[in-house]
Amino acid sequence: MSQRSCLSIILAAGEGTRMKSAMPKVLHAIAGLPMVAHVVKAAEAAGATALALVIGHGAEEMRKAAQKFAPRAETFVQERRLGTAHAVLAAREAISKDYDDILVMFGDTPLIDAGVLAAARQKLAEGAAVAVIGFRPPNPTGYGRLVEKGGRLAAIREEKDCSEAEKKIGFCNAGMMAVAGKHALRLLDKVGNSNAKGEFYLTDIVEIAGAEGLDVVATEASFESALGINNRAELAEAEGIWQGRRRREAMLSGVTLIAPETVYFSHDTEIGADTIVEPNVWFGPGVKIASGARIHAFSHIEGATIASNCDVGPFARLRPGADLKQKAKVGNFCEIKQATIEEGAKVNHLTYIGDARVGAGANIGAGTITCNYDGYSKFFTDIGEGAFVGSNSSLVAPLTIGKGGYIASGSVITESVPDDALAFGRARQKTLPGKGRELRERFASAAAAKKRVAE
């Protein structure tokens, strides 16, 4: 089957009014990726050699988004919504290119498994003209039933048209199907609209193909894989299912999740074996973690690279461009952005490091900040190997602190510091005996006067 060409048509023209959103429904995200992009990934994993997106509502927004998650996809606009067969035929130009297999999918089924799609394609390779994907929901009410006879699919019957016996069928239509390319256009063109809604239903090709003596079969997907999203409650449900799958996958690959249900992964999170993740950690897009790291509780990480045996958090925030080398430490209430923390360096407490490099073995004291932005431009701070930056220091970029440099606590450093130099950037302390008591008495008198006026 690997040599068979395959066009995957993804129907994504729905307005999604139940989402209560101006954004096209299929662009709402699961694990940080638009749900339609999850469908694209499944199609590609199932061997699709070409992609066609049928769009409608928010067409320009869809095209722009598709450039990111499906840059090689062709887009076709369904100008009027006249049913699923009508939507598929919007991609007539693509269908006519003599693909062996045509997969028809929906952009709002983000949990579809590539294995299910591959199984449907396999049926085509074995000679079927149409392979319909079915599933068994906990309650089949409202779903079209797959009526089978003699091991073949005879019809897809909408519930309102089902006999009492057919209503008892638990095998239901998931909407997706695979169609042999050589039959696809002919079958689709035979679909009529003699129904109450005057629409062209894709499901009609089952009986049309059967009437031609073609082989029509059904394959089965899990209920979760076939789950369609129509509102934000269902979106949250799908997110939960996706996260559950990913957490289990991570744990089975050697990652310890102490409280799995509290850890949230992104669609592209990479995490190595022997990493330990404590409760309430959020991974945004673009995170890569090597083996043996420890991510402490309540950390928020996105667009970051974390090397082996690093220690992060608790309550750490790693923003895009954070790059932690081996055995680096970023501690509690620290924020790192567009900065490299070299091997063994420590950024332990209440610190912001942005647009910077912290050299190997350097130590950054509590309350230190790199002042990297002047309101218009960003500037770089380079902190050398083995440097020590005392607590409550402000490092005003552009700035270089040399190898082994030492910054006194409470300093504001505006000029570069040579290797092994000691830098002070604070006013000399002055102590005035008795002035503390005098100051308190003055403040107390002022407060009492203010109270009397208020009364």
The DSSP secondary structure of 329-357, one letter per residue, reads EEEET-EEEEEEE-TT-EEEES-EEEEEE
Query: How distant, in Å, are the alpha carbons of 39, 112, 180, 247, 426 from that of 123?
Result: 20, 18, 10, 32, 77
Q: Which domains does the chain have, with CATH numbers?
A: 6-220 (3.90.550.10), 232-423 (2.160.10.10)
Q: Which pLDDT score, from 0 to 100, does residue 57 have?
A: 81
Identify the pLDDT of residue 1.
52
Respond yes or no: is residue 349 known to be catalytic.
yes
pLDDT digits (tens, 9 = 90+) for 318-348: 999 999 999 999 999 999 999 999 999 999 9
Residue partners of 20: CB distance under 8 A and separation at least 6: 231, 232
Backbone φ/ψ region at 47: left (φ over 0), alpha (ψ -120 to 50), beta = left
Which helix or strand (DSSP H or E) is residue 436 part of? helix 435-454
Give yes or no for a contact between 125 and 211, defined as CB atoms under 8 angstroms apart: no
Paired sense of beta strands 352-358 and 256-257, if any:
unpaired
Instruction: Determine the Cα–Cα distance for residues 36 and 30; give it in Å rounded to an integer.
Output: 9
Buried b (16+ CB within 10 A) or exposed e, 399-410: bbbbbbbbbbeb
β-bridge pairing 130-135 and 145-149:
unpaired
Measured between alpha carbons, how far is 213 from 196 in angstroms, rounded to an integer? Answer: 28
CA-nearest of 292, 284, 287, 299 to 332 is 299
- pLDDT tens series, the chain, 455 aa: 558 999 999 999 887 789 999 899 999 999 999 999 999 999 999 999 999 999 988 889 999 999 999 999 999 999 888 999 999 999 999 999 999 999 999 999 999 999 999 999 999 999 999 999 999 999 999 899 999 988 889 989 888 888 889 999 999 999 999 999 999 999 999 999 888 788 899 999 999 999 999 999 999 999 999 999 999 999 999 999 999 999 999 999 999 999 999 999 999 999 999 999 999 999 999 999 999 999 999 999 999 999 999 999 999 999 999 999 999 999 999 999 999 999 999 999 999 999 999 999 999 999 999 999 999 999 999 999 999 999 999 999 999 999 999 999 999 999 999 999 999 998 888 888 988 899 889 989 999 998 888 87
What is the structure's pLDDT at 451? 87
Cβ neighbors of 86 (< 8 A, separation 6 or more) are: 78, 80, 199, 200
Burial class from Cβ neighbours inside 10 Å (0-12, 13-18, 19+) for residue 193 reads middle
In this prediction the pTM is 0.89
